[in-house]
Amino acid sequence: MPFRERVSGALIVAPMTKGSNLPYRRLCVELGARVLVSEMVVARRLKQKRRSEFALLRKAPDEPCFGVQLAGNKPEEMAWAAALAEARGADFVDVNLGCPIDHFTRMGLGAALGRQPGRVRKIVEAMRAAVTVPVTVKIRLGWKADQLNYMELARAAVEGGASGVFVHGRTREARYRYPANWEAIAEIAAALPVPVIGNGDLLFPHEVRDRLAASGCAAVMTARGALIKPWLFRELATGYWDITGEERLALYRRYTTLALEHWGGDEHGRARARDFLRWHAGFWCRYVPRRADGSWPSMQQREVNERPRSALEALLERADEPALDYLTDELLNGGDLAAPPPVPAASPDARDARDIRDGRVEDAVVAG
Ligand SMILES: Cc1cc2nc3c(=O)[nH]c(=O)nc-3n(C[C@H](O)[C@H](O)[C@H](O)COP(=O)(O)O)c2cc1C
């Protein structure tokens, strides 16, 4: 099926280091997601035969359309990695041109590669020659506000044979400090002959529909939205879901089951599953429902739900470490969450909000 048809009208699960892990993608599929992208896979690490990197190529059994995102800046290496990903079941392969993290940009990867459109064209060309599945790129708008190169970069990728362009509507320097620039995304969608997929700040179903309609994009994509409320995919079919604490808990329990199925129930598997659960809990607690006056909280503002309807909802919105550890352990042990720890004196909420805006979320994830 042509790439345009495959993605048309979809809300895609974005590539996320740690975040788009296999069991989490399965949860999103169960909730209605139909196109999903892997965690970032570093081509060089595949060459080095690192097992942990190979694990990231795995497609879930029930995954309708799975893209593998590759990071690398050598055409031959990227072509080889793309062929490997295809052989392991990838439905498309994507090039990371947006990763902002110093560790990678210093090696000329991610957003640093995005400053070299000529090289990007060659990489896409080489990948195209090595695979039969579509090759896509994921770009930002530029390195910083006075160095916007999105049109040149997107065009170079298309010249190289890219079948689609994902656009995160911010610069590398901006991190998450400002809202995504959907005007620039629309400009790219209007200019390119291939499908453009817009990305940035989608959290509620009306935002998905409005951005899709107004931007001219073939599809849109969400990262933090999927982490904070994986039921966003279901809402696209059924409308805004005023979800209860119990209903949320059932989804978190489902992820726990999928995580244990994936990593295994032995000591090692349970430790892996715990690590991921604890990490996801740090996003789940950020969910805020529609406000009492009918208006919508935005992705950029960390709000606190002033109206928890039950003791469980009050627990699920706590962002302090004892609460997140408690939720994680109760999920892992099938507990009933009946005895939450006391709220510590100083709440870390303010720090969390800053971290999310300044992009330390991604940095913290990839540092390990
Ligand atoms: C935890 C986390 C990990 C991410 N890892 C990647 C990655 O590996 N590759 C990538 O291209 N973008 C990555 N991103 C960026 C997202 O794909 C997306 O472009 C960005 O978060 C904007 O979308 P949002 O506003 O829906 O969050 C990551 C984002 C988050 C929050």
In this prediction, residue 360 carries a pLDDT of 53
Please indicate whether residue 138, judged by its CB atom, sits closer than 6 Å to ligand 1: yes
Long-range contacts made by residues 13-16, C-beta under 8 angstroms, separation at least 24? 13/37, 13/221, 13/222, 13/226, 14/166, 14/199, 14/221, 14/222, 14/223, 14/226, 15/39, 15/40, 15/67, 15/69, 15/94, 15/96, 15/138, 15/223, 16/223, 16/226, 16/227, 16/365
Please indicate whether residue 69, judged by its CB atom, sits closer than 6 Å to ligand 1: yes
Confidence of residue 10 (pLDDT cuts 50, 70, 90): very high
Whether 100 and 172 have beta carbons less than 8 Å apart is answered as yes
* Fold of the domain built from segment(s) 3-238: TIM Barrel (3.20.20)
CA distances from 172 to 150, 168, 198 (A): 12, 10, 16
pLDDT tens track for 265-309 = 999 999 999 999 999 999 999 999 999 999 999 887 778 888 899
Percentage of the residues of the chain whose pLDDT score is greater than 90: 90
Atom 22, ligand 1: residue with shortest CA distance:
200
Please indicate whether residue 364, judged by its CB atom, sits closer than 6 Å to ligand 1: no
HSE-CB for 247 with a 13 A CA cutoff: 10
Whether 188 and 142 have beta carbons less than 8 Å apart is answered as no
For residue 299, give the ligand 1 atom closest to its CA: 25
In this prediction, residue 305 carries a pLDDT of 84
Ligand 1 centre distance from Cα of residue 37 (Å): 11
Residue with tokens 């992009």: 359
Ligand 1 centre distance from Cα of residue 54 (Å): 20
Catalytic residue among 28, 65, 99, 285: 99
Can you give the length of the chain in residues?
Answer: 368
Please indicate whether residue 229, judged by its CB atom, sits closer than 6 Å to ligand 1: no
Please indicate whether residue 223, judged by its CB atom, sits closer than 6 Å to ligand 1: yes
Q: Is 28 a catalytic residue?
A: no
For the chain, the C-alpha Rg in angstroms (whole number) is 20
Please indicate whether residue 136, judged by its CB atom, sits closer than 6 Å to ligand 1: no
Instruction: For CATH 3.20.20.70, list the domain ranges present in the chain.
Output: 3-238
Ligand 1 centre distance from Cα of residue 311 (Å): 32
Please indicate whether residue 67, judged by its CB atom, sits closer than 6 Å to ligand 1: no
For residue 224, give the ligand 1 atom closest to its CA: 27
In this prediction, residue 368 carries a pLDDT of 32
pLDDT for 362 beyond 60: no
pLDDT tens track for 141-165 = 999 999 999 999 999 999 999 999 9
Atom 29, ligand 1: residue with shortest CA distance:
16
pLDDT for 139 beyond 70: yes
Average pLDDT over residues 206-229: 98
Best residue for ligand 1 mutational test, from 137, 362, 366 (most atoms within 8 Å of Cβ)? 362
Ligand 1 centre distance from Cα of residue 89 (Å): 23
Please indicate whether residue 200, judged by its CB atom, sits closer than 6 Å to ligand 1: yes
Please indicate whether residue 140, judged by its CB atom, sits closer than 6 Å to ligand 1: no
Ligand 1 centre distance from Cα of residue 364 (Å): 12
Best residue for ligand 1 mutational test, from 168, 217, 298 (most atoms within 8 Å of Cβ)? 168
Lowest mean pLDDT among 186-190, 257-261, 348-352: 348-352
Average pLDDT over residues 41-60: 98
Best residue for ligand 1 mutational test, from 16, 175, 228 (most atoms within 8 Å of Cβ)? 16
Beta bridge partners of 94: 69, 136
In this prediction, residue 1 carries a pLDDT of 86
Please indicate whether residue 17, judged by its CB atom, sits closer than 6 Å to ligand 1: yes
